Chain A
Amino acid sequence: MLTLREKYYDFDQISSKVFKCRRDDQFFTMKIVSILNEENQANNGVPYWIIREISILKELDHINIVRLIDVMTDGPDLFLVFEYLDNEFQADFLKNPKMFMYPQMKKEFLYQILNTVAYLHARKILLRDLRPENILVNVRTQVLKIALFGAARTFEAPLEAYSSSVGCLSYRSPEVLFQFGCEKYSTPNDVWAVGCIFGEMLLHRPLFSGPSDVELLDEIFTLLGTPTEETWPGVTSICGTCALMGPPQQPKDLAKEFPMLNPDGLDLLSKMLCLCPNYRISAEDAVKHPYFKGV
């Protein structure tokens, strides 16, 4: 078995724990993950979240997912070897100005995101934390890549630490926001996140940006209306207190909020941002939506 430095060489640091490296003619991105816990003790062995995430990534083979090619160990560190994405791939794709110049590009990228989510859901894999920072795009080739492992978060932090981060709230679904503290994710939450990203592509700003659960819910209900037992059966039992609901609000006209969007697009957006998770469109159905005709 070749050691790390025998197998890979020409290391070039990209950031504190990320390197570009080479083997033969191919370049790779290598990320270092420490498996010691906060007290530098191996008190319960390899952390479960690392095993689970790597195990998932090892299974995935999709053009729109950054591929994990190799895993090597050296003492208390793991070295994750990913496919290399050259400078043409821009991180945090919604900050790329070209995104807003070509409407067709938005549709193409939205389709690729949904196709990827459908691929993952077919394997009973949930993203839970999909947001623009995790998405890279190459506007020349119009290929999008989702980085599933550690692209935008510190490698040492376990997943739970990120679940409570304020920065992640913008793409969280109402059913998840309602149960803060005990997140029960499922596939509709990922679709909601894609809906938020879709809206953000159109408006050039996050659709919802409140700094807390309560403020986010208020923004959501301001746009989409306060849910009722009729629009969301079971909602009163989900939200613990009526305070989360706020005063009843009527939904706004999405056509006026998104004037640049055609009727098919409005239909898709409204279905992805359906308040009731059971009624929300699935990723599998979304990729077949008429909005994507011709993609």
Chain B
Amino acid sequence: MADQEERVPVMQQVLDNPFLLLFLGITVPTVLYIVWGVMEVANIAVAR
């Protein structure tokens, strides 16, 4: 019972880990915005 009370919920563990948050905060916009956006621009056919 005491163990259960002391267990920190997973979500709180995530929120208490600044470096995991840093990783998420860099990776998500880098993939969704920059990498995806740059790939789209890079795939534009060059005019001849």
Do A and B form a real pair? no
Using a CB–CB cutoff of 8 Å, the interface residues on chain B facing chain A are none
